[in-house]
Amino acid sequence: MNSARFRNIAAIAWAFGIFMCAGLLVGRAAEPETETLSGETAATGTDVDGVLADFTQEERERNGEFGVLKVGYVGDRNPVSFKNKDGEFDGISRKIFDHMQEISGLQFEYVELPSGPVTYDYLLGEGFDFVTSVEYNEENKKARGILISHPYLTSKKVVVGRPDLVFDANAQLRVAVSTGSQTLKKVMASMYPNFELVDYETMEDCFDAVNNGSVDLLIQNQFVAERYLYKPVYEKLIVVPVIGMDDELCFSAVTPLEEKEGKAWERCEELIEVIDRTISLLTEDEVTSYIIEETMENIYDLTYGDLFYRYRYALLALAAAFVLVLFMIAMIARYRLRTADAQAEAKAKGNFLSTMSHEIRTPLNGMIGLNYLMEQNIDNRQKLKDYLHQSSATAKYLQSLINDILDMSKLEMNKMELVSSPFSLKDVLTMIETIEKSRMADKEIDFQMDMDIPHPFIVGDEIRLEQIVLNIIDNAYKFTPVGGSIRVQVRQTPSGDGQTSTEIKVSDTGCGISEEFQQKIFHSFTQERNTVSKGNQGTGLGMSISYLLAQLMGGSLSVESKLGQGSCFTLSFPAEIVREELKTAIQSAEARGGEIPEGCHILIAEDNELNGQILTEILREEGFQTTLAVNGQVAVDLFAASAEGEYRVILMDLRMPEKDGYEASKEIRALPRADAKTVRIFACTANSFEEDREKAIECGMDDFVAKPVDIKKLLTLLRS
């Protein structure tokens, strides 16, 4: 029987078990304690026969005079108590409280409690009236500063561990415990003194620790445990039903420590009496229906991350093939709609499609074959390493093809938007010179770059300018034979009103371009074929993309060439000169640079679970220490709480809940500590081309790392 079918049968059996025994589990919640009810007719609302009476309208109105009661809840105990997708309190507990509010006239406001230990002073200072999902036990009954209600929900605690777990109450086992579970720690210490309790910040951290073998087991509410175990990443964990501990949940009223005779204490006692009466009015059927709805009818739905984890290898291969097929279909559909007046262009595009079909199918066939070979040689590390290296190179080539097609499509539909932000033209050209020199040396090409740039700091789209220049140089490289030369000349002249005009000439000693082809070199889907270019891969879109980008920048791209004498491409574009305060900001960002030591501690601010896991694993494999923050606010808090100099680099996503990357960077730079000014902050985002680069620099960031992340470039940046 396969695992998926087994888990489905297990889910049905578990739900059926809940249905059959839910009444027993909530029995204590539905029956008030005798000693509480006896002699308290006025408080509990019983009639002369001892039968509970519903609240009268007058009582409901009087209960409403307590005002809106602030209730704190734990947000990671799905399905008992959790924060849903809309950011609201949800779960079995919420449904019970809504019903209690309806029948009693009390009004509740729900606020999520922070992860980790929650102190009495915090609750009192934040104005909480109640805390929900508190364990009903002798420890809490005797605690100072709180009054607890009758249990409103009763279930069992279970042990979660790996399949090889042998539970022995006298053994020295390591147990994962959420830092907020203070009562559980005390109960565990008394029942199992040999167990070592290990603190983790969240419940998910506890499950991860059991899953990866850091601890032996965890103990949790049965509903919560079952919910987590539906996640594919925890599919190897099992429930060991050996704990005889009930999990009774109740309200806890926050009361002043030393005012047992004061009005505040009397108010809390009155509230607890009303809530106890409300709990006693809940029927077994009502509570059972809430449990069934949140467990049987609300079974864990696999997220995209779960599906990707389960089928990650097959999905990646299928996604690449699917995207390429879609592009091919879209391109073919467009060509078939061309009119008779465009037959010449259609013919060129037909040739392009033929070329693209070959260019795409060849590496795609290679990837499929490599995946098969990797599966067949999974235990041969050397072969697997070679296949992975070849697969990575093939994937990068496919990515370049897709990028060209995407850029061309956007440009033709006028949907390409340039980013207008300040940058150093000199730095961009220097980086290009460094990259190209090593490649030129392999072909024994003499590569020179001359720069005359009186205004290096300008406003424009740095990424697109770099793309144009690299396309022109790459074209020259392709058509220049071994032993030739390529020269780049950059000249800049002011044009008034804070503007400057820049001219970049790239000349080569290659084979040259015929006059006929010069007329259409910037047309889409064209590539001249000759003895020098034979064997060069590519879409033929590079020069047309560069031409359209130059026009979009308000400039121009032209060519002069003679067959056998080489070519000269000239890029001209206007730009605004950066004002002094922005120039200072850019220079300050550069000054924050400096060497990043090997193995340094990196703070990753990333709200996407899968992306955060991937970055964390890669950087740890490369010897770096990492800490993951799930949003900008957590990143600020972690940095503020760290030792000075602990974090040397921050990889900051821009779009995050709670606080975005811009605000988080500003707050970190403003902290009163020396390393707040020197820590390197890189925006790591999929939207780097759309964001305002000027805003990023002003907020204190140093640079961008675009997604999908080029791992080699990222590691080079971190080690520079």
3-state secondary structure 251-308: EEEECCCCCCCCHHHHHHHHHHHHHHHHHHHCCHHHHHHHHHHHHCCCCCCCCHHHHH
Spell out the CATH class of 421-578.
Answer: alpha beta
Please say whether the beta carbons of 360 and 401 come within 8 A.
yes
Structure-block tokens of residue 57 = 């309208």
Written as one string, the DSSP assignment of 4-50 is HHHHHHHHHHHHHHHHHHHHHHTHHHHS--HHHHTT-HHHHTB-TTS
The string of pLDDT tens digits covering residues 434-447 is 878 878 888 899 99
Exposure letters 407-427 (e unless 16+ CB within 10 A, then b): bbeebeeeebeebebbbbbee
- Residue owning tokens 């990797």: 374
Residues of the chain with pLDDT under 70: 1-52, 180, 241-244, 257-262, 297-302, 307-308, 310-313, 315, 335-363, 365-366, 393, 396-397, 399-401, 406, 409, 412, 524-540, 580-598, 686-694, 708, 720
Cis peptide before 79 (omega within 30 of 0): yes
pLDDT (0 to 100) of residue 156:
83
Burial class from Cβ neighbours inside 10 Å (0-12, 13-18, 19+) for residue 143 reads middle
pLDDT (0 to 100) of residue 25:
41
Please say whether the beta carbons of 200 and 135 come within 8 A.
no
**CATH placement of domain 581-718:** 3.40.50.2300
pLDDT (0 to 100) of residue 50:
46
The length of the chain is 720
Exposure letters 474-499 (e unless 16+ CB within 10 A, then b): ebbbbbbeeebbbbbbbebeeeeeee
pLDDT (0 to 100) of residue 533:
44
Q: How wide is the angle at C-alpha 605 spanned by C-alphas 599 and 609, nearest 5°?
A: 105
Pick the CATH number of 306-412 from 3.40.50.300, 1.10.287.130, 1.10.3470.10, 3.40.50.1000: 1.10.287.130
Q: Where are the domains of the chain?
A: 3-301, 306-412, 421-578, 581-718
Pick the CATH number of 3-301 from 3.90.228.20, 3.40.30.10, 3.40.190.290, 3.40.50.12160: 3.40.190.290
Pairing of strands 499-508, 566-577: antiparallel
**Sign of torsion over alpha carbons 350, 355, 356, 361:** positive
Burial class from Cβ neighbours inside 10 Å (0-12, 13-18, 19+) for residue 56 reads exposed
The string of pLDDT tens digits covering residues 189-210 is 878 889 999 989 888 899 999 9
SS3 at position 475: helix
Helix H or strand E segment including 666: helix 661-669
Helix H or strand E segment including 523: none
